[in-house]
Structure 1
Amino acid sequence: MSGSKASMRCAGIVTYNPDLKRLRANLEAIVPQVDRVFVCDNGSDNVQDIETLAAAFPAVQLERLGENLGIAAALNCLLQAAERGTFDWIVLLDQDSVASDGMVDALAAHADETTGLVCPFILDRNRMSVEEYRAMDMPATQRLEHAAKGGAITSGSLVQVKAALAVGGFDERFFIDYVDFDFNERLLLAGYEILRVNTTYLLHEKGKSEATWLRVPRSTPAGRQWQPLYKLGYSPIRCYYQARNRIIYWKKYHRHTGSEGLTEIPLLMALSLLVEDRKAAKLGAYLRGIRAGVRAKVQPVGDGKLVRA
């Protein structure tokens, strides 16, 4: 942890009907690494249990939204809490992510005023073991050039509070999915750097990932490799936002990112038809999301130096 109040670091966790055992592990891992932890609850049914758990940690402060306003709104709640507490940096976490020992210090070692966000290597517990991660040959740090393609997710990221607020925080129209990549793009267009520190990791879980019989070539930190294609196990409502938000993202940033985001939609739909359950419901959700995205009125982002939400 840092010394003066102005330079202290905090963490923020978004909760929505969390598994309390996993949330406890999250808190136990992050509390020793920062000066305060803000938990923003998005209308959980078990909010009283969350409050009881938070009270067991003196450094944890619970913020309640009262209803599910989406992850973007909850992330903005956390940014505002960090600003009120005069924290310069905030580590943003999903409720079921667990920081590795020393992760925050490792990220902070690469943070300065020109950096908007520093993220760790994301170790998906359904796809890779810690031993496999440690055996990988990767550069210690990487400067990320794209917001979405190989970009940084929100969870585990050390975010400069001043920079985040300067670009307008998180766009609440997205609700969930592509919230992080939209935010990243605005940081990049505003001139901030995004770095990944591969010497530290975050234990994370993308949906309910499960390997399928299909194998596809992927670009990895260790090079181009044939890897299993994973089904995500997302709900139909998440499929809706996956399609809708990618189209909105493309409408906002196509002058800078080309077709980034759009090309994934047919692949996601094909994956659902091939290996997911509830095929009809998910396909219908994707189609509704496409229609909503096409109909959405979005102002394209130009070449301005400072880009807000």
Structure 2
Amino acid sequence: MENQELNSDLKKVAALIVTYNPDVKLLKENIKATSVNVGDNYLIVDNGSKNLIEILNTVGKKHVLSLDTNKGIAAAQNAGFRRLQAQSYDWVLLLDQDSVIPEDLLQRMTAMSQFKQSDTGIIAAAFNSHSYVNQGVIEKKNVIASGGLIKVNAWCESGGMDDELFIDFVDFDFDARVLACGYKIYQNTEIVMQHEIGNTIYAPIRGHLLHLGAYHGYFSDHSPIRIYYFYKNFIIVHRRYPEYFNEPKGLFRLSVSRLRKIFLYQRPRGKKFRAAFRGIKDGMRYDPQKDIRFQKMMRQVNEES
């Protein structure tokens, strides 16, 4: 009877993978692990990759929703959710192109008592660099998108992902609205997936000198455009939801203090510093009260809650 119930739950779940110029070898590992979890119930939303033909040859056209250009992670996720919602799935497992999940991830998530609770909006996995792995199930205010099992109703009621953010902090912005709708977010830290954020570099000495020892010498390097959105959206999201973030310093001061990480990054560091300062400047100009699109999303959230 338990297996029948579990199989029934699994049929309600589809996986959604967003790709952009992926390493096809790593993508194949991702798809293999995903298929063990969800069978044929997965969708790839491609964000205008140059190697789209390779992706299509790997998985077949029926599994791919191709966007003409890179519309950003948020727009791609929303496009995938709309497709899967139309196919009557109740839950969507979000994955980045370089995430590789355990073979029993979905079985363990759907067996959790929280999966059955009506007010559960997201159940997240931990990833390999988390310091709190194997600490059981914990309630969270924010989790990253990849490895998150998201209730379709929570996505719909919260207004979905914010396309305007493009990339970085899209997930934290979404998490805040999910909570505002009255849902809860859980993370099962005993379910651990492989996940990388940017290109990993090892700089233990410089990291120690810059008082960044919490990263154990490993850091994620990013392109200038990614750095721009990181700093801009960091400020935007914190200004939108100050009640969800307890920052000991002012946002500008905190953003500038994070710039020391760029000293660890690969060249061109000067271009990356300029991108960060431009992001801080644009973020500091942001006023959520004047953001008509955001205010519309919040009105929907308030109506749903």
Say which is worse superposed, 27-36 or 249-258, in terms of deviation: 249-258
Q: Does the CA-based 8 Å contact 1:10-1:90 persist in structure 2?
A: yes
Distance 1:66 1:47 in 2: 10
CA displacement, residues 91-149 of structure 1 (integer Å, 9 cap, x when unaligned):
0000111111101111222313211110111114xxx8xxxx9xx873221111x22xx
Q: CA deviation at 1:44?
A: 0.5
- Computed over aligned residues only, the root mean square deviation of the Cα atoms, in angstroms, reads 2.9
Distance 2:9 2:139 in 1: 29
Q: Does the CA-based 8 Å contact 2:105-2:191 persist in structure 1?
A: yes
* AA in 2 matched with 1:253: Y
Q: CA deviation at 1:292?
A: 1.6
Q: CA deviation at 1:226?
A: 5.4
Distance 2:192 2:211 in 1: 24
2:96 matched residue in structure 1: 94
SS at match of 1:232: strand
Q: What is the count of residue pairs matched by the alignment?
A: 285
In structure 1, runs of 5+ residues without a counterpart are 219-224
In structure 2, runs of 5+ residues without a counterpart are none
Q: 1:275 to 1:81 in 2, by over 3 A?
A: closer
SS at match of 1:90: strand
CA displacement, residues 157-202 of structure 1 (integer Å, 9 cap, x when unaligned):
1000111111001011110000111011111122111111122111
TM-score norm. by structure 2 comes to: 0.84
1:250 matched residue in structure 2: 238
Distance 2:136 2:90 in 1: 24
**Which of 152, 162, 167 matches 2:158?**
167
CA displacement, residues 25-66 of structure 1 (integer Å, 9 cap, x when unaligned):
11110112115001000001111111111129xxx6110111
Is 1:34 paired with 2:43? Answer: no
Q: 1:19 to 1:279 in 2, by over 3 A?
A: same
Q: Residues 246-285 of structure 1: matches in 2 within 5 Å?
A: 246-259=234-247, 262=251, 264-274=254-264, 276-285=266-275
Q: CA deviation at 1:4?
A: 4.8
Distance 2:120 2:150 in 1: 8
2:66 matched residue in structure 1: 64
* AA in 2 matched with 1:186: R
Q: CA deviation at 1:290?
A: 1.4
* AA in 1 matched with 2:54: D
TM-score norm. by structure 1 comes to: 0.83
Write 1 or 2 for the structure with the bigger share of strand: 1
2:59 matched residue in structure 1: 54
Write 1 or 2 for the structure with the bigger share of helix: 2
Distance 2:106 2:264 in 1: 40
Q: Does the CA-based 8 Å contact 1:191-1:305 persist in structure 2?
A: no
Aligned-residue sequence identity (percent) comes to 31
Is 1:306 paired with 2:304? Answer: no
What stretches of structure 1 move > 6 A for 4+ residues in a row? 300-305
**Which of 121, 138, 158 matches 1:142?**
138
2:185 matched residue in structure 1: 194
